[in-house]
Amino acid sequence: MEDFSQKDLERFYQPLDTLLLFFKYAAEHGFGGSPGGRGLLGRRSTLMALKGKARTQNSALSPRYTGNRFFGHLSFIPDKELERAFNEALERGFIAQMGEFQGKPLYGLTQKGRDYLQGMRREVGVHA
C-alpha cells in the first residue's frame, strides 16, 4: 500500500460509501441504540469505529460498532475527511437523525441512502 498516495486511497475507498455501508450493515444485523432503534448509531462512535478505535477515553465501544463488518475499514483516512463524509451524508439525506440516547442524536440510513447504495451496486455490476 505504500505505493499509493493518501488521495489514491481515498479515491479507491470512497469514505462516503463505506460510511453508508457501515449504517446498512448495522440496520441489517439488528444493531441499534435503543429498543426499536434498529441500525441507529451515534456520530462520534461511528467515526471511531470506522477508524478502528474500539475504546473511548472512558469505555469500550459496544458490539454494534466493533462487530460491524466495516469496523476499521477507514483507519487510514484523516479524521477531517471522515467528518466531511458524515456531513455530506447528512446534507444529501442519506442518513438522518432518527432517535436519541442520553441526549445525544442517533442516526440511521434513510431510504435515499439505501437507494444510493443500490445504484452504486448497479454501477459496478453487482446483483442482489
Give residue limits of the domains in the chain.
Answer: 6-123
- Report pLDDT for 4: 54
Residue pLDDT, tens place only, 55-78: 877 889 988 899 999 999 999 999
59-91 burial, b for 16+ CB within 10 Å, e for fewer? Answer: eebeebbbebebbebbeebeeeebeebbeebee
The C-alpha cell 478502528 sits at 52
- What average pLDDT score do residues 98-108 get? 93
6-123 has which CATH code? 1.10.10
The DSSP secondary structure of 65-120, one letter per residue, reads HHTSTTTTTTTTS-HHHHHHHHHHHHHTTSEEEEEEETTEEEEEE-HHHHHHHHHH
Query: Which pLDDT value is given to residue 123?
Result: 52
pLDDT attached to residue 5: 62
pTM: 0.82
Torsion of CA 42, 10, 60, 24, to 10 degrees: 50
Q: Could you tell me if residue 6 is left (phi over 0), alpha (psi between -120 and 50 degrees) or otherwise beta? A: alpha
Q: In which band, very low, low, confident or very high, does the pLDDT at 120 lie, cut at 50, 70 and 90? A: confident
The rounded mean pLDDT for the chain is: 84
